[in-house]
């Protein structure tokens, strides 16, 4: 089994692939940073509840955009297998069928998205990832990452608005039917959520206009389902796209 770890700014996602499909996915809050023992205990308890055996894990791949976690994740996984985990980073990019002009600047999660997009679709593609940040990764058919656009994610935007403004309540991430807010809650929901619908639509229109050609659009990320009016703009929604990219990266490195 493959254990894929995707450490983001909000959650650490642990995915288990049995050779055919992703059979388990667990999320652990990134902050506060835990110690090595706590991560191992979390993993062992989830394996026990899922009736899985840790000794069946024979491959590990790790992506982290949180530098403080890198050593912890690397060390706590080493006892699980007798091989070094594959750690996604600039050192291995030369062995991948994708390329980027800025290997030390681009997030490893975006590299994983690009890898999955290239391997699965083999055409010009825009990957829209709804996570802590909202990202648009443009990948050419050749595998070259043409560029990335980054905006605050949905939760990030709402937390920033509520946290820095007096008398505004916390609101659920639910898209109102009407685009005109009639109370404080729907006013915030409309401003952020319908605003993001318009932003994604506008960004995709501008990207395609600049490229001067049609491109495949794939969405991923845990919050991709919230903005359901956008689904007509997506050729596919693949919630496991980042994990798939990590799996393909591991396969490319460990032949």
The residues that are catalytic are 109
> What is the longest distance spanned by two Cα atoms in the chain?
60
Three-class DSSP labels, 73-127: HHHHHHHHCCCCCEECCHHHHHHCCCECCCCCCCCHHHHHHHHHHHHHHCCCEEE
* Cα(44)–Cα(24) distance, integer angstroms: 13
Exposure on the CB side of residue 84, measured as CA atoms within 13 A: 6
Strand 2-7 to strand 11-17: parallel, antiparallel, or no bridges (unpaired)? antiparallel
User: Which residues make beta-bridge pairs with 211?
Assistant: none
Q: Using CB atoms within 10 Å of the CB of residue 52, give its burial: 0 to 12 exposed, 13 to 18 middle, 19+ buried.
A: middle
Contact 143, 129 (CB under 8 A): no
> What values do phi and psi take at 37, rounded to 5?
-65, -40
Among 222, 15, 69, residue whose Cα is nearest residue 133: 222
> What values do phi and psi take at 27, rounded to 5?
-120, 140
Contact 243, 251 (CB under 8 A): no
């Amino acid at each position: 089994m493959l254990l894929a770890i995707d450490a983001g700014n909000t959650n650490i996602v642990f995915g288990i692939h049995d050779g055919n499909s992703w059979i388990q996915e667990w999320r652990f809050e990134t902050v506060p940073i835990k110690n090595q023992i706590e991560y191992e205990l979390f993993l062992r308890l989830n394996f026990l509840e899922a009736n899985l055996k840790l000794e069946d894990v024979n491959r590990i791949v790790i992506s982290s955009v949180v530098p403080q976690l890198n050593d912890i994740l690397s060390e706590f996984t080493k006892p699980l297998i007798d091989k070094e985990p594959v750690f996604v980073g600039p050192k291995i990019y030369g062995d991948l069928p994708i390329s980027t002009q800025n290997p030390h600047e681009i997030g490893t999660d975006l590299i994983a998205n690009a890898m999955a997009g290239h391997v699965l679709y083999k055409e010009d593609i825009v990957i829209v990832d709804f996570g802590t940040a909202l990202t648009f990764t443009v990948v050419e058919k050749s595998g070259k990452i043409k560029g990335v656009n980054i905006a605050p994610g949905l939760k990030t935007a709402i937390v920033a608005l509520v946290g820095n403004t007096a008398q505004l309540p916390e609101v659920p991430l639910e898209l109102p039917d009407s685009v005109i807010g009639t109370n404080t809650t729907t006013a915030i929901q409309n401003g952020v959520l319908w605003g993001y619908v318009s932003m994604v639509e506008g960004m995709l229109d501008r990207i395609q206009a600049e490229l001067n050609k049609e491109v495949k659009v794939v969405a991923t990320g845990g919050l991709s389902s919230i903005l359901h009016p956008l689904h007509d703009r997506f050729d596919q929604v693949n919630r496991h796209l980042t994990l798939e990219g990590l799996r393909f990266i591991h396969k490319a490195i460990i032949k």
